[in-house]
Structure 1
Amino acid sequence: MEAPLLEVRNITRTFPGVIALSHVDFDVLAGEVHALVGENGAGKSTLLSIINGLLPPDSGEIKLSGQTVSLNGPAEAIAHRLAMVHQELVLCPNLSVAENIFLGREREATGRSGRRSDLMKMAQVILDEIKVDLDPATPVGELSLNEQQIVEICRALSSRPKVLVFDEPTASLDDNQVAHLLEIIIKLRDAGLGIVYVSHRLNEIFAVADRVTVLRDGRTVGTVATPDIDERGLVSLMVGRNYDPAVSSYKPRDFGEVALEVAGLGVHGVFDAVTFSVRKGEILGLAGLLGCQREAVVRSIFGALPATCGTIKVHGKQVRLTTPRGAIAQGISFMPADRKEEGLVLEMSVEDNLTLTVLDRIRRLGFVHPRMRRTWADRLIRQLSTKVSSPRQPVKNLSGGNQQKVVIGKWVAREGDIIIAEDPTRGVDIGAKAEIWTALQDLAASGRAIILITTELEEMLGACDRIVVMNRGRISGAFDRPDFDAEAIAHRFVN
């Protein structure tokens, strides 16, 4: 029998006070998609960092094509024919598709000629291999998110790997873009590559994976062929208890007065004539494909993208919001999808991040009072069941799900009447998702008006009271909960 392309044997890795991985086993065969799943904090990110050479293991071994290797960085992993496509895109928007694909390896790719025309030809070869219609001369900054993701894949493929690792590649993609990406992954598998696929979206796992390995608390729970397990069984392995993923997070509520109303809102050249309202206690979903400009609408409401026409009313009073500070003063909170770039200060502690929005309430004589800060942070940590070793732990060291809870917690602390939640469960596991949806439902039940954006329509159907659909910068449909129909809503995405 041919040796696996990748073998991870008995890998252990510890950090101060934490066992991140303990005797983990994992392997990938040629022509196989092997999924790696587990809750946030299960050890997936640490394992991927070890496989990619970013972290050394404390013990255990890694074999590539049967050869034991010691990897001291991604360059060595690439030299051994292993490449990774990261969740967070790392591209240069001012450079072309071809220049991004071969960044740092231009002369190697062109036989040392370094000519731009040769670089374009080599990029076109890779694009043709996965049957993608992209112009290699196009600046990456002009591409859609889905197309940028494809450039990341092409960059990984340009090193001619035998093993390709995908880390949450669909976290920011809509359903149509996800389907396109999965088609590409299947083509790569059929070409004989070994694929490691990490995702919290279990429907993707069952769509492309041949086998799946479950990690829990840094240990290997087991490896199963996907035809031999269903979604409920897989989730139960992940969380260590029986779990029913079909349970809806929705809780019926009574609604109060209109908290926020926008009428004819627009930003020149971006979106136009957007009109909707949301009441106290209500969760309103803004649905649509990427590029429909719903993200621009909520940023306009938050004052980060000032409107050029239309009106915004908060509790019946017309306001002009030109800065986030002004929006916060009106009781508007914003939980951004990109927690690392916009939601958190990664170098600061958990308690510092949790209390950023309430510094005016924990000051004494112009200085932040340490005891008050700790009291606020402890309450929020308990309220959202956030797993931390200490409130003083750097927030960058938390799992993705717990980082997201800190983002939510700092706005819970502010106690604003209107909350904008943009992809609140992006990149978090199914257990943390359930806790986050419960937290948002509880906020609505307490009288907050919530505007929700998520790339997963199924999540929106499970959480919202109403859904407004956007298409090309305009409202294209609206649905009350009794009329929710996934097909009808999706139809409004493009019509």
Structure 2
Amino acid sequence: MPADAPLLEVHAIRKSFPGVVALADVSFDVLPGEVHALVGENGAGKSTLLAIMNGLQAPDSGEIRREGRPIQLRNPSVARANRLALVHQELVLCPNLTVAENILLGQEPKSRFGRSDRKAMHQAARRILETIHVDLDPARLTGELSLNEQQIVEICRALASNPEVLVFDEPTASLNDDQVGHLLAIIRKLRSKGLGIVYVSHRLSEVLDIADRITVLRDGRVIETLEAGQASEARLIKLMVGRDQVPSQIAHAARQLGDVMLEAKSIGADGLFDDVSLAIRSGEILGIAGLLGCQREAVVRALFGSQPITRGEICVQQRPRKFRSPGEAIKAGLGFLPADRKREGLVLPMSVGDNIALTLLSRLASFGFMRAGRRNRLAQDLIRTLAAKVSGLAQPAVELSGGNQQKIVIAKWIARGGDIFLIEDPTRGVDVGAKPQIWRAVHELAGKGKAILLVTSELQELMDVSDRIIVMSRGRVTGHFTRPEFSVESIARCAVQ
């Protein structure tokens, strides 16, 4: 094979899901000793592309070639056999195992009696660590390591399969600046050994620092591939977000704002976020923008009592509160609509009516028995108000479409009657027709004086519905915008700081 021939070629990959074209004729290649970065907004198609490259999904058409030869990546084992390895964004280590055991998991050297050879395992792990000039004890428990050290173990586990192409998926999302510098130094060492590196990150400063070439994805398509010398942060942002903004499907309505309902005063949680302050008034929709790894979801969970804070103060209606559990937050008038409605928002095997009643069982019960008539009237009124398409209250939630499932989650919290709503990605996986109905429901809640904190990966939708937007990056607030100041480029610039 010629020295300058690509190690990996992704050619004309297409992938569709019901109602969505995730990837449309995506092509790029990776050369020996090159870092090729992939950038794009949330929803640009990066995750789907990486899943295909790791054998977790099959493309509808197109092919992947290794050294010019088409390969069928049926599963991650086939990917590893073709010397293609992925360093996951989320660490998938076993904390109760040693460094060596994690690095060689599934590839443990055996003694002549068929047992794991611990001495040989430690020697093999040490050799892999030495290739990137890291001094880490193979016998240490992984759960005792720092986040940076765990990231190194994750990289070494990928290196244990002797890859020629190494894919990094948002590797610095949970690292601080010093740890990021250490990781980028390791990647440079790997590049100097002739490996081909695919580097996926939202942090454009890192991309510009480490990449030799940069491919920009938008809406599942390759917009442009740039040599590093041609790229700048401003140019990449322009390519990522596009020149034309999507027309709004929801007309924003000015509302009379009341008193501050929820306030966070310089709250922090070790290793996640720090010095986050915000305040939401009655009738207001406050949006939080940010890219993957900015920790805005952790802030929402801290406000709802499922993530402890280590400093700062949370106030509800000017009264300091310390929530030890979501139950305490619910009693204080907070409701939480999670992004993962299937696992956190609904009990899928249960009926529509029972799901709606979940948050107010004590109010609907009498002597330990559910008052079915009252529950049914309440549920039917909410289903009618939200225009949810269900066959009846007895229909299992699992049978509903994504949009109608989301409406049932909204109905559940409206039924509770709280004053503060924390909402994550309400239109995630929802068809185009249902999106305006869900946003209309959010607006109606605000119109009734509810205070709403909104997180969504759809920046244009966030701008459409919010009264104000704060921006987070690396666990800190990096920007604050009122409606007249909303701009895709300005918000994106704060998100990559």
Alpha-carbon distance in 1 for matches of 2:65, 2:310:
58
Normalization by structure 1: what TM-score? 0.65
1:7 aligns with 2:9: yes
Kept after mapping to 2: 8 A contact 1:334/1:411: no
Pick the aligned partner of 1:462 from 462, 476, 479. Answer: 479
Contact in 1 for aligned 2:45/2:217 (Cα 8 Å): yes
Cα pair 2:84 2:163 within 8 Å, conserved: yes
Contact 1:11 1:59 survives alignment (8 Å): yes
Q: Distance in 1 between matches of 2:347 and 2:90?
A: 18
Aligned twin of 2:432: none
CA shift, 1:275, in A, is 12
Distance 1:308 1:170 in 2: 23
Question: How many percent identity over aligned positions?
Answer: 48
The separation in 2 between residues aligned to 1:305 and 1:44, in whole angstroms, is 29
Q: Indicate if the aligned counterparts of 2:264 and 2:278 stay in contact, CA closer than 8 A.
A: no
Give SS of 1:25's match: strand
1:24–1:126 distance in 2 versus 1, CA, 3 Å:
same
- CA spacing shift, 1:260–1:277, aligned 2, 3 Å: farther
Q: Cα RMSD between the aligned structures?
A: 5.1
Partner of 2:382: 372
* Deviation larger for 307-316 or 153-162: 307-316
- Give the match for residue 185 of structure 1: 187
Measure, in 2, the Cα distance between the counterparts of 1:15 and 1:342: 18
Alignment correspondent of 2:24? 22
**What is the CA-CA distance between 1:394 and the residue it aligns to?**
8.9
Distance 1:124 1:40, change over 3 A: same
Map of 1:127 onto structure 2 = 129
Question: Which of structures 1 and 2 has the bigger CA Rg?
Answer: 2
SS of 1:214's equivalent? strand
Q: How many angstroms apart in 2 are the aligned matches of 1:86 and 1:346?
A: 28
1:116-143: CA deviation from partner (whole Å, max 9, x where unpaired): 1221221122222222232222222222
Shift of 1:180: 2.0
Match of 2:52 among 50, 53, 56: 50
Displacement of 1:212 in angstroms is 1.1
Q: Deviations over 1:17-56 (max 9, x none)?
A: 4332222211000000101122333222222122111222
Match of 1:174 among 170, 173, 176: 176
Asked whether the equivalents of residues 260 and 277 of structure 1 are also in contact (C-alpha less than 8 Å), the reply is no
Any idea what the Cα deviations from partners look like across 1:185-242, whole Å, max 9, x if unmatched?
1221122110011112211211111111122222222211121122222222223317
Q: Once the 2 structures are TM-superposed, how far is the Cα of residue 110 of structure 1 from its aligned partner? A: 11
Q: Is 1:220 matched with 2:222?
A: yes
- The Cα of 1:418 is off from its aligned counterpart by 7.6
For 1:422-437, what aligned pairs fall within 5 Å after superposition? 432-433=458-459, 436=462
* Map of 2:467 onto structure 1: 442
Gaps of 5+ in 2: 246-255, 365-371, 389-400, 408-422, 429-437, 483-493
**Which of 140, 144, 151 is the matching residue for 1:149?**
151
Segments of 5+ residues of structure 1 without an aligned counterpart are: 244-253, 379-388, 396-401, 445-449, 466-485, 491-495
Q: Which moved more, 1:73-82 or 1:403-412?
A: 403-412
Q: Name the counterpart of 1:481.
A: none
Q: 3-state SS of the aligned residue for 1:365?
A: helix
C-alpha distance in structure 1 between counterparts of 2:193 and 2:112, whole Å:
24
Could you tell me which residue of structure 2 aligns to residue 116 of structure 1? 118
Count of residue correspondences: 409
TM-score (norm 2): 0.65
User: Counterparts of 2:128 and 2:135 in 1: how far apart (Å)?
Assistant: 11
Shift in CA distance, 88/311, structure 1 to aligned 2, threshold 3 Å: closer
Give the 3-state SS of the residue equivalent to 1:39 in structure 2: coil
